[in-house]
Amino acid sequence: MDVRQVSYFLAVAEHGGFSRAASALDVAQPTLSQSVRALERELGAELFHRVSHGLVLSYAGRAFVGPARQMLRGITAAREAVGSREPSSAVLDLVTVPVLAAYPGASLVGSFRRLKPDIVVRIDEPETDDGLHILVRNGHSELGLAHLPVPHLGLHVVELGVQELWLAFPPGTDVGPADAVPLARLHGADVLGVPRGSWQRDHVEQALREQGVRTRLVVEVAHREALVPLVLGGAGTAFVVRETAHAAASLGAVVRPVDPPLRQAYGLVHRPGPLSPAAGAFLAHARAACGAG
């Protein structure tokens, strides 16, 4: 196994086929195919299933993505440590859930890219919020932007800030004075929600239970970016992060903070041990940008 084989495998996995990967790497497709097949022989496992519409990762292929990325990160770090002039592409693998990808993820990545334009940032999303920590632990992503606390998986945690949920009501809703809305006021209300297993859904339902409040879930939407358009369309009331609430207000929604406040800390998580130069730079940048010391 060599670096080129591993790089080619990841390119095929990320681009979904040999043709697109070959184009992105500017190599001949037969060369790429032969290299991946040689890697499969060396590992004794089929990494891809060849299907009619292209390629999909096999079980072994999915399991190999994390170690492969770790291998390339280690090689990049080793080259930088010895001052090697061998060209290497710096990649930051970050996994986060949609609600944190928007705030504060977008601003953090944007400001980081302005400082480090040579680093490519690859942002992944877990299938469920709980799956984020597994992707960090197995090396699929080097850093995770997650709500805290995290499960006890031996990960190192750097707290960055606190996220707060507000209420967004359809335009024209009479919610009284411009102050916080008691959760008790939502008893019997039509609300919009995201799927179970997400931080936002779990946090809201726990708070409602503690207040003895029962609502009617009238729309469950997997695409969380649709929450505000649904509120604006009059479908119901939604819990959204404060920054999204402010944006929704500019479009006509009625927004208010909640009493008691719904807040949860967030931060970056990573495996113990040294980070790659790209991940180390991002962690330092995030600390400074969020005032986390």
Alpha-carbon dihedral angle through residues 175, 176, 180, 182, given to the nearest 10 degrees: -70
In a domain, 205, yes or no: yes
- Name the one residue in this structure whose structure tokens are 């609600």: 99
Domain contains 237: yes
The set of long-range contacts for 28-37, using a CB threshold of 8 Å and a minimum separation of 24, is 32/8, 35/4, 35/5, 35/8, 36/5, 36/8, 36/9, 36/12
- In this predicted structure, which of 2-6, 49-53, 77-81, 235-239 has the lowest mean pLDDT? 77-81
Whole-number pLDDT of residue 210:
93
**Count of the separate structural domains present in the chain:** 2
CATH number at residue 40: 1.10.10.10
Say if residue 284's pLDDT is above 60.
Answer: yes
In a domain, 273, yes or no: no
Domain range for residue 251? 161-264
- Strands 262-270, 190-193: pairing is unpaired
> Which among 30, 64, 87 is the end of a domain?
87
Answer with the residue of higher pLDDT: 276 or 85. Answer: 276
Residue 86 has pLDDT above 80, yes or no: no
CATH of the domain at 225: 3.40.190.290
Confidence band of 89 (pLDDT split at 50, 70, 90): low
Tens digit of each residue's pLDDT (9 = 90 or more) over 7-47: 888 888 888 888 888 888 888 888 888 888 888 888 888 88
Distance CA 199, CA 204 (A): 9
Query: Which domain-ending residue is among 87, 103, 137?
Result: 87
Are 81 and 172 in a shared domain? no
Q: Which two tokens stand for residue 107?
A: 């601003």
Question: Residues 118-172: pLDDT tens digits?
Answer: 998 989 898 877 789 988 988 889 999 999 988 777 899 999 999 999 999 999 9
Percent of the chain with pLDDT over 90: 48
Together in a domain, 165 and 260: yes
Mean predicted confidence (pLDDT) in 242-269: 95
Q: Are 266 and 147 in contact (CB under 8 A)?
A: yes
**Domain identity same for 83 and 176:** no
| Residue 230 reports pLDDT greater than 90 | yes
Q: Does 255 have pLDDT greater than 80?
A: yes
Does 207 map to a domain? yes
Tell me which of 44, 61, 87 is where a domain ends: 87
Upper half-sphere CA count for residue 57 (Cβ side, 13 Å): 16
pTM, entire model: 0.77
Any domain includes 83: yes
C-alpha distances (whole Å) from 190 to each of 88, 221, 241, 247, 260 are: 53, 14, 19, 22, 20
* In the predicted structure, residue 186 carries a pLDDT above the cut 50: yes
Q: Quick check: is 212 in a domain?
A: yes
Residue 125 forms part of a structural domain = no
